């Protein structure tokens, strides 16, 4: 019974904490009236029986046991009590700061490692400017090929100088077992220089096909890197090393390859019925879309004169007297059906 009476008085500090998160033994976040009244009485009387002292007063070290009178407690000036009350909190803050500095130092070591590794990696995208720079990058990329080179070449026949350079490079790759697949536009089938190049590389194992339209030039080396135009400027290219982008370009090429018509080595008409039909369909669709002869020529890889000749023949066949009428008649004639 005596021990029960010596316990500190219960106060309202815990209930009055604004966030309700106070734990037993923690100093109160704000004093209650009972604690203020008890401290006032202690200051006036010099001491108080232990059972009248609120728990928050002992937690704040504002009341301490009276050594001369067991069972009593004496008041302590707030300035003196602050050292004992705040010291544990300040030590906890210092400990947290030490832990913070240690964690930062540990992360810094990993940041250095991360930066070192990525400095050794090639950038995912690299802009190449100038014919010489592009040529060196292509040579280095192709020289490192292990399995396959995919190439899409828009436009018609290629310049003879470019074909001579390509022939030396491509035959070298084919001799070391590299698979080479190239998609041209159908119009190369009437270009003697390009056909001579195709005949030589095909004899060495290259695979060549043609389509009515090839959207843009692309070279994919294995699944490691690719080269695409950076802009419409002739000597601006982009080297792509990002794995996802390279895979996308390779899949896009493979889809075009599946639609393309093979170029056979044996002597045959320059344009098979399939190729002729494919070319005509592309031209007629462009007419329906309202494209000019110049735009069609660029996209199909054909001269403007050849495009105009196609237009003339179709106009005669359908009895058209104007370009607008021709587009309407083509769209309604069923020529593009199927």
Closest CA to 216 of 302, 153, 144: 153
pTM of this prediction? 0.53
Task: Pull the structure tokens for residue 308.
Answer: 């105009």
Residues 163 and 252 grouped into a single domain: yes
- Same structural domain, 240 and 307: no
Tell me how far apart the alpha carbons of residues 130 and 80 are, in angstroms, rounded to a whole number.
79
Tell me: do 129 and 189 sit in the same domain: yes
Q: Which residue has the tokens 């030590």?
A: 91
Residues 142 and 261 in one domain: yes
- Does 193 share its domain with 260? yes
SS (H, E, C) 229-279: ECCCCCCEEEEECCHHHHHHHHHHHHHHHHHCEECCCCCCCCCCHHHHHHH
pLDDT at 283: 77
Residue 300 neighbours by CB under 8 Å, 6+ apart: 185, 186, 187, 212, 213, 279, 282, 283, 286, 307
Same domain? 218 vs 315: no
> In this structure, are 136 and 159 located in the same domain?
yes
| Residues 221 and 325 reside in one and the same domain | no
Q: How many separate domains does the chain show?
A: 3
Shared domain check, 279 and 214: no
* Same domain, residue pair 294 and 159: no
The contacts found for 126-130 with CB under 8 angstroms, 24 or more apart, are 126/238, 126/239, 126/241, 127/230, 127/236, 127/237, 127/238, 127/239, 128/227, 128/230, 128/236, 128/237, 128/238, 128/239, 129/230, 129/235, 129/236, 130/235
> Which CATH number characterizes residue 191's domain?
3.30.870.10
pLDDT at 127: 92
3-state class (DSSP) for residue 187: helix
Among residues 12, 46, 76, which one ends one of the domains? 76
* Three-state secondary-structure class, residue 183: strand
What is 278-306 written as a DSSP string? HHHHHHHHHHHTT--HHHHHHHHT--HHH
Does 159 fall in a domain? Answer: yes
How far from 294 is each of 277, 290, 310, CA to CA, in Å? 21, 12, 13
- The reported pLDDT for the residue numbered 201 is 94
Residue 99 domain-assigned? Answer: no
Helical axes 293-300 vs 304-318, angle rounded to 10° = 120
CATH number for the domain including 313?
Answer: 1.10.10.10
pLDDT 10s digit of each residue in the chain, 338 long?
Answer: 444 445 556 565 654 444 444 555 555 667 788 888 989 998 998 899 998 888 888 888 999 999 888 889 999 999 888 888 888 889 999 999 999 999 999 988 888 887 777 666 678 889 999 989 998 999 999 989 999 999 999 877 788 888 998 899 999 999 999 999 999 988 888 788 998 999 999 999 999 998 887 778 999 999 999 999 998 887 899 999 999 999 999 999 999 898 888 887 554 444 444 444 667 777 777 777 777 878 777 776 777 887 777 777 777 777 777 877 777 777 766 666 65
Q: Which residues of 147-175 are buried (b: 16+ CB within 10 A; e: fewer)?
A: eebbbbbbbbbbeeeebeebeeebbebbe
Q: Which residues pair with 151 in a beta bridge?
A: 182, 219
Say whether both 135 and 241 belong to one domain.
yes
Q: How high is the pLDDT of residue 2?
A: 43
Structural domain span for residue 145:
125-268
* Same domain (yes/no): 168, 251: yes
Instruction: Establish if 320 belongs to a structural domain.
Output: yes
């Amino acid at each position: 019974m005596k021990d029960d009476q010596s316990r500190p008085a219960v106060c309202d500090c815990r209930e009055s904490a604004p966030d309700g998160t106070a734990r037993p033994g923690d100093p109160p976040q704000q004093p209650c009236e009972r604690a203020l009244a008890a401290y006032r009485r202690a200051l006036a009387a010099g001491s108080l029986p232990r059972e009248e002292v609120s728990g928050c007063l002992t937690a704040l070290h504002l009341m301490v046991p009276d050594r001369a009178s067991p069972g009593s407690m004496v008041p302590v000036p707030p300035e003196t009590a602050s050292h004992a009350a705040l010291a544990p909190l300040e030590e906890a803050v210092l400990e947290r700061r030490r832990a913070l500095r240690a964690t930062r130092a540990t992360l810094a070591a990993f940041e250095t490692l991360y930066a070192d590794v990525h400095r050794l990696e090639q950038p995912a995208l690299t802009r190449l400017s100038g014919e010489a720079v592009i040529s060196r990058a292509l040579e280095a990329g192709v020289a490192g090929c292990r399995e396959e080179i995919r190439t899409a070449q828009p436009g018609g026949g290629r310049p003879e100088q470019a074909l001579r350079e390509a022939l030396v490079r491509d035959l070298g790759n084919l001799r070391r077992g590299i698979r080479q697949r190239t998609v041209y536009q159908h119009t190369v089938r009437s270009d003697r220089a390009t056909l001579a190049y195709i005949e030589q590389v095909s004899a060495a194992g290259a695979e060549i096909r043609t389509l009515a339209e090839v959207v843009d030039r692309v070279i994919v080396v294995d699944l490691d890197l690719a080269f695409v135009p950076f802009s419409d400027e002739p000597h601006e290219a982009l080297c792509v090393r990002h794995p996802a982008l390279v895979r996308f370009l390779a899949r896009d090429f493979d889809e075009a390859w599946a639609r393309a018509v093979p170029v056979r080595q044996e002597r045959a008409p320059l344009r098979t019925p399939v190729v002729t039909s494919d070319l005509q369909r592309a031209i007629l669709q462009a007419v329906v879309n309202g494209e000019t002869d110049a735009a069609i020529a660029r996209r199909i890889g054909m001269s403007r004169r050849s495009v105009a000749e196609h237009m003339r023949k179709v106009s005669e066949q359908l009895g058209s007297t104007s370009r607008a009428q021709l587009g309407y008649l083509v769209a309604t004639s069923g020529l593009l059906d199927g």
